[in-house]
């Protein structure tokens, strides 16, 4: 998070704000239930076009406005959305979705043709959807998106009739129903898009099919949603109005929550980090595992990081538990794999833990006993207080345990991205948030041709295992292949150094709000949230 | 007067063009793409994005095409906020910044002049010293300390005013006061110093001897000539209040132009940055012109040339 107008993390500021927030804790109270849920949603949404958005704040709003074939419930499970049911062919490559009778918010029927045409739009190069690659599991979708194929009828999406959509995939994709809950798979009202162009997402023009309608949108202030009376299960939606506030500053968000002006903070970036140890003791603080990993990348094209023994030594010398206890303090878990635990049916391999003796031995074996002769390295991170603290801690650990010198370099976000993506770094801080509950969302990043690899690393056996996994139908066997591939990544080769698994953090009073549940995807659909009645709240009060 | 106005307005055109040119090239030459994210974008998508925003030719072609659009009143689409034009963003956020800045300006001048006059009249007495101490505190306490303290006291502790948001007078009061306070202190000191020079003058003594009411002497005969340095300070004050409200906007969660400017810089949104800079520059030129005209009206010796 960027802090303007003062030195990031300066002691004076921290002391002042921390003191102020501590006093605020004592005043933290909540208002009686109303018909309006006020949510602090994070930064101003870049767009509300479900096919071009990339961030969580936009995603939350879009999932309230549009519903795909499937949806997520409050537990993060994939449940039927507009599709009443679906079937999969024995080879796992063909999905047939049967749509329920539903309509757009203007009353016009929502058909399978709408879905096919919407997915075509998402794949059109001119739309330039940054998440279009989520559809690449569909036959010929990648070729169409990259302009190599002009005829959409060659793409594996077909509306058999108004209520049946058939999708042909390039291989068995057991997580495809979960993909269908992603915003880019949502239907969009193409007639409205054609009529209004870029303005179609504005209030009064936007037509959706989700539980809520766009009532108003005051830029960088608030988005107001009202219940959609034409939503197919509108009787289950219990809060008539949602106000999503655009707030980027943690202290402002907390002030609004503490003074009762907001009911719910959903964005992890809006929790004052220096204040976490106090905040965690409060009854309204809720944290849960989240499908995201904080890790360091090694540029394996530069010596001495081209030697796996060196990379292993660097990984073995990091005491993640201590880092989490002393630096992050937000309920994170130490990471020894890239994939976070919790994905159904998948146990990630346990990578290298803290073993300083073995780290020193490996470094000596690589030709640097006691760190002698080890060339100076630079650790790159994007400017943020927490990244700096972690980097400083790890720099000290490597100096103490391995006797090597690593200098720190921080860069502003866009400059940092440029450095990482052009391999102009030696060690770089990174993170990855899973898009769906499957290890492939993480492991696919380190394929040779993946644009998200950014390490220069590739491994034939890893490629083979992942390729094999994409054509394996049996879930158990497929996950075993992915497990083996991840073992190469975090036990043998280590182009990355996993540090911790993020936790999703929310602030809300359990006695006031219901329908929110911790889940790995950090999905909390508005349609499931409700206000507890006063009597229920009273009886729930300790 | 009209010739002066025309000259100044004509002179503003190359200044604004220069501002646009410098901003455009600075942002475009800064490392990092406006479309880059943690997730890699396929080259084909990147090309489409560049074409959509007319950022795919040479730098010179991009610049000339942009200037041509600006001259036609089109500040283009924001690269950060897809589906939104810069005209629309400025149209929605400028009134907010102007309201906040304008309120703070009125508070700074109102309280500053009143305190300054009062301190000058009570020269070397307790009231004078009290005003001086308060001015020192006002100038010394940074807004990022003052604003959270104000929120703590007025919003969280006494629950008198909301801690953030926008739209009502109550929501405006706290941020406008926090923004105005340091400037009110400067205005008070300027007023006090200026009044201390004016009050011993012969014509003031004459006015007293004629038996004119104290208020007339102070505010008509005293304050009018004493306000010249305040008027000279008013243009940079207005500009500072308008462009310097970023910290306050952030702390109180107000959707002014400042936050968009910073967001634009960080996300390399060249059109948003250039558009906001253009508006700020135009306002600054306008304020300076207004200050010159006011000075000429207050003091006939000031030549509009």
Asked whether the predicted pLDDT for residue A268 surpasses 90, the reply is: no
Asked whether the predicted pLDDT for residue A16 surpasses 50, the reply is: no
Residues A271 and A250 sit within 8 Å (Cβ to Cβ):
yes
E strand map for A51-173: 70-72, 78-80, 83-88, 94-99, 157-161, 164-168
Cite the DSSP H helix spans in A111-248.
Answer: 112-123, 141-145, 176-179, 190-196
Where is B232: in which H helix or E strand? helix B228-243
Asked whether the predicted pLDDT for residue A540 surpasses 60, the reply is: no
Q: What pLDDT digit, counting tens, does each position of A510-524 carry? A: 999 999 998 999 999
Q: A242-251, A391-400, B260-269 — which one is most confidently predicted on average?
A: A391-400
Other beta carbons within 10 angstroms of residue A261's beta carbon come to 18
Other beta carbons within 10 angstroms of residue A172's beta carbon come to 21
What is the per-residue pLDDT for A13?
Answer: 44
Q: Which residues are within 8 A (CB) of B43 and not within 5 positions of it... i.e. 6 or more apart?
A: none
Indicate yes or no: CB of A255 within 8 angstroms of CB of B164.
yes
Q: Whole-prediction pTM value?
A: 0.86
| Mean pLDDT for the stretch of residues A3-8 | 31
Give, as one character, the DSSP assignment of residue A162.
T
What is the per-residue pLDDT for A11?
Answer: 38
Asked whether the predicted pLDDT for residue A291 surpasses 90, the reply is: yes
Asked whether the predicted pLDDT for residue B37 surpasses 90, the reply is: no
Asked whether the predicted pLDDT for residue B245 surpasses 60, the reply is: yes
Residues A56 and A269 sit within 8 Å (Cβ to Cβ):
no
> Searching chain A, which residue's CA lies closest to the CA of residue B154?
A259
Collapsing DSSP to helix, strand or coil, B96 comes out as helix
Contacts with A252 from chain B: Cβ below 8 Å: 163-164, 250-253
Residue B124 in tokens? 């070397």
Contacts with B48 from chain A: Cβ below 8 Å: 125-128
Asked whether the predicted pLDDT for residue B258 surpasses 90, the reply is: no
Percent of chain A with pLDDT over 70: 92
B126, B108, B127, B129: which is closest to B118 by C-alpha?
B127
Phi and psi angles of residue A405, each rounded to the nearest 5 degrees, phi first: -105, 125
Q: Which residues are within 8 A (CB) of A88 and not within 5 positions of it... i.e. 6 or more apart?
A: A94, A95
Average pLDDT over chain A, rounded to an integer: 90
Asked whether the predicted pLDDT for residue A4 surpasses 60, the reply is: no
The Cα B216–Cα B208 span in angstroms is 10
Q: What pLDDT digit, counting tens, does each position of A106-124 carry? A: 999 999 999 999 999 999 9
The Cα B187–Cα B238 span in angstroms is 12
Percent of chain B with pLDDT over 90: 51
Indicate yes or no: CB of B42 within 8 angstroms of CB of A128.
no
What is the per-residue pLDDT for B274?
Answer: 95
What is the per-residue pLDDT for A30?
Answer: 52
What is the per-residue pLDDT for A25?
Answer: 52
Residues A122 and A184 sit within 8 Å (Cβ to Cβ):
yes
What is the per-residue pLDDT for A350?
Answer: 92
The Cα A451–Cα B41 span in angstroms is 7
Where is B284: in which H helix or E strand? helix B270-298
A71 vs B250: which has the higher pLDDT: A71
Asked whether the predicted pLDDT for residue A539 surpasses 80, the reply is: no
Contacts with B156 from chain A: Cβ below 8 Å: 23-24, 27, 255, 258-259
A310, A303, A299: which is closest to A423 by C-alpha?
A299
Indicate yes or no: CB of B80 within 8 angstroms of CB of A46.
yes
Phi and psi angles of residue A12, each rounded to the nearest 5 degrees, phi first: -60, -45
Residues A276 and A329 sit within 8 Å (Cβ to Cβ):
yes
Q: Which residues are within 8 A (CB) of A226 and not within 5 positions of it... i.e. 6 or more apart?
A: A212, A213, A215, A240, A241, A242
Give, as one character, the DSSP assignment of residue A488.
I
Picking from A47, A132, A245, the nearest residue to B83 by CB comes out as: A47
């Amino acid at each position: 998070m960027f802090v303007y107008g003062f030195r990031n993390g300066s002691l004076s500021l921290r002391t002042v704000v921390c003191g102020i927030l501590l006093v605020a804790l004592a005043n933290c109270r909540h208002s009686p239930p109303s018909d309006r849920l006020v949510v602090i949603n994070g930064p101003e949404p870049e767009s509300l076009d479900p096919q071009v958005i990339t961030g969580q704040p936009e995603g939350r709003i879009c999932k309230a406005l549009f519903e795909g074939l499937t949806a997520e419930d409050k537990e993060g499970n994939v449940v039927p959305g507009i599709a009443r049911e679906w079937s999969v062919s024995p080879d796992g490559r063909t999905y047939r979705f049967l749509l329920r009778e539903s309509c757009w918010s203007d009353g016009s029927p929502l058909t399978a043709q709408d879905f096919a045409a919407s997915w075509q739009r998402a794949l059109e190069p001119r739309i330039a959807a940054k998440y279009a690659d989520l559809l690449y599991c569909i036959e010929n979708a990648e070729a169409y998106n990259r302009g190599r194929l002009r005829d959409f009828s060659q793409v594996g999406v077909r509306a058999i009739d108004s209520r049946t959509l058939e999708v042909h995939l390039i291989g068995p994709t057991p997580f495809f129903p979960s993909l269908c809950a992603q915003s880019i798979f949502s239907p969009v009202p193409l007639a409205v898009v054609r009529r209004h162009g870029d303005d179609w997402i504005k209030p009064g023009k936007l037509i959706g099919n989700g539980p809520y309608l766009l009532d108003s949108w005051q830029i960088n202030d608030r988005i107001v949603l009202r219940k959609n009376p034409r939503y197919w299960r509108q009787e289950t939606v219990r809060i008539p109005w949602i106000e999503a506030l655009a707030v980027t500053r943690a202290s402002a968000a907390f002030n609004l929550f503490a003074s009762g002006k907001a009911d719910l903070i959903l964005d992890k970036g809006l929790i004052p980090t220096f204040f976490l140890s106090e905040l965690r003791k409060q009854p309204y603080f809720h944290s849960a595992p989240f499908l995201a990993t904080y890790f360091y990348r090694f540029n394996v094209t530069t010596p001495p990081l081209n030697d796996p023994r060196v990379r292993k030594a660097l990984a073995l010398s990091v005491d993640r538990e201590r880092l989490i206890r002393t630096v992050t303090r937000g309920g994170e878990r130490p990471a020894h794999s890239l994939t976070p635990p919790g994905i159904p049916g998948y146990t990630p391999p346990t990578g290298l833990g803290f073993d300083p003796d073995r780290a020193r031995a490996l470094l000596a074996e690589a030709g640097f006993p006691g760190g002698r002769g080890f060339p100076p390295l630079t650790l790159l991170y994007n400017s943020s207080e927490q990244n700096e603290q972690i980097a400083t801690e790890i720099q000290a650990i490597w100096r103490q345990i391995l006797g090597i010198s690593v200098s720190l370099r921080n860069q502003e976000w866009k400059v940092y991205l440029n450095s990482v993506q052009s391999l102009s770094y030696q060690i770089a801080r990174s993170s990855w948030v899973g898009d769906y509950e499957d290890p492939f969302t993480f492991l696919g990043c380190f394929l040779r041709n993946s644009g998200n690899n950014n390490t220069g690393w590739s491994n034939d056996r890893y490629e083979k295992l992942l390729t094999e996994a994409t054509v394996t139908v049996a879930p158990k066997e497929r996950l075993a292949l992915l497990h083996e591939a991840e073992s190469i990544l975090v036990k043998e080769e280590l182009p990355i150094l996993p540090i911790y698994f993020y936790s999703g953090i929310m602030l809300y009073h359990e006695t006031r709000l219901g329908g929110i549940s911790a889940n790995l995807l950090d999905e909390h659909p508005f349609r499931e949230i409700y206000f507890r009645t006063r009597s229920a709240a009273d009886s729930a009060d300790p | 007067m009209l010739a002066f106005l025309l000259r100044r307005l004509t002179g503003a055109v190359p200044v604004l063009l220069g501002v646009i040119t410098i901003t455009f090239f600075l942002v475009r030459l800064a490392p990092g793409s406006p479309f880059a994210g943690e997730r890699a974008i396929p080259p084909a998508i990147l090309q489409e994005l560049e074409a959509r925003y007319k950022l795919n030719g040479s730098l010179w072609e991009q610049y000339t095409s942009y200037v041509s659009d600006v001259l036609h009143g089109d500040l283009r689409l924001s690269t950060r906020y897809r589906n939104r034009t810069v005209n629309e963003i400025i149209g929605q956020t400028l009134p907010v910044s102007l309201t906040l800045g304008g309120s703070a300006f009125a508070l700074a001048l109102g309280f500053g002049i009143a305190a300054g006059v009062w301190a000058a009249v009570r020269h070397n007495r307790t009231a004078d010293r009290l005003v001086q101490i308060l001015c020192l505190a006002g100038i010394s306490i940074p807004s990022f300390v003052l604003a959270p303290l104000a929120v703590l006291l007025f919003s969280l502790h006494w629950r008198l005013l909301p801690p953030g948001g926008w739209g009502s007078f109550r929501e405006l009061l706290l941020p406008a006061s926090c923004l105005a306070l340091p400037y009110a202190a400067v205005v008070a000191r300027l007023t006090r110093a200026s009044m201390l020079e004016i009050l011993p003058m012969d014509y003031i003594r004459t006015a007293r001897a004629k038996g004119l009411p104290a208020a007339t002497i102070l505010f008509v005969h005293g304050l009018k000539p004493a306000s010249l340095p305040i008027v000279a300070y008013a243009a940079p004050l207005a500009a500072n209040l308008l462009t310097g409200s970023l910290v306050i906007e952030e702390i109180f969660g107000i959707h002014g132009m400042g936050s968009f400017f910073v967001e634009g810089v960080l996300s390399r949104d060249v059109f948003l940055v250039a558009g906001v800079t253009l508006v700020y520059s135009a306002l600054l030129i306008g304020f300076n012109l207004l200050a010159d005209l006011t000075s000429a009206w207050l003091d006939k010796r000031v030549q509009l040339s």
